[in-house]
Amino acid sequence: MQRGPTMRLAGAETTGGARNQDFSKAMCLEDPGLLSDATEQVEDLRDEVARLTDVVNAQRMEIRRLRRDAVRDVLTGLLNRRGFERVLERSIAFVSRYQSDVALIYADLDNFKSINDTLGHAAGDAALKHVAEVLLQALRRSDVVGRIGGDEFVALLWKSDECAARAVAREVSDALTRAPFVHKGRSVLLSASLGVATLAFEDSAAGVLDRADRDMYRVKSR
One-character DSSP codes across 75-126:
TT-SB-HHHHHHHHHHHHHHHHHH---EEEEEEEETTHHHHHHHH-HHHHHH
Does residue 151 have an active-site annotation? Answer: yes
d(CA 28, CA 32): 5
- Answer yes or no: are the C-beta atoms of 187 and 180 closer than 8 Å: yes
Helices 81-98 and 32-71: crossing angle, nearest 10°? 60
d(CA 161, CA 66): 36
Q: Which of 73, 143, 151, 213 is catalytic?
A: 151
Catalytic residues: 151
